A = this chain, B = another copy of it.
Amino acid sequence: MPTTELTATITDAEWRVMRIVWTLGQADSHTIIDLLVRQHDWKPATIKTLIGRLVKKGALGTTKDGRQYIYHPLIAEQAAMDTALTTELSQMCAMCRGKAFVHAIDETELSQEDIQALISHLQKKLTTAPTAVSCDCLPADYEGSC
């Protein structure tokens, strides 16, 4: 059975479409197009293409509503975000990820609640954290230097 491929990669432009649908829960193309035309200087045709690609790749599902479709997400927003972020990180030097987090957190607006959640996760993580994480950019020889 062609199980819902959760591996569907969403491109930058498609991400904009998904955010609309995720936020609204579901939407018809008119709504999506209307909102995106206002946010970007995209032509309606461009947005139609993006919607079509998202349906084809299994990120959006459709329900027939008379003559048109209602689109709804087939993948969860938080899961997509988690995957995207983890994928991005996994391609960077393991030794430098911590500093990248520091920078990203400095740059990102976070709510008190989020910050508290992060602190407690980090405190728990601290109890089993290694003294150092070594560079994994080379096969085995040499020594790292981020």
Chain A interface size range: 35 or more
Chain B contacts for A85, CB-based, 8 A:
85, 88-89, 100-101, 103-104
A88 touches B86 (CB 8 A): no
A3 at the interface (CB under 8 A from B): no
Residues of B within 8 A of A110 (CB): 97-98, 101, 125, 129, 133
Given contacts A19-B93, A142-B23, is CB(A123)–CB(B119) below 8 Å? Answer: yes
Shortest distance from the beta carbon of A18 to any chain B beta carbon, whole Å: 9
Stretch from A42-50, A59-67, A75-83 forming part of the interface with B: A75-83
**Contact indicator A139/B84 (Cβ below 8 Å):** no
Which residues of the other chain, B, contact A145 by a CB distance below 8 angstroms? 23, 25
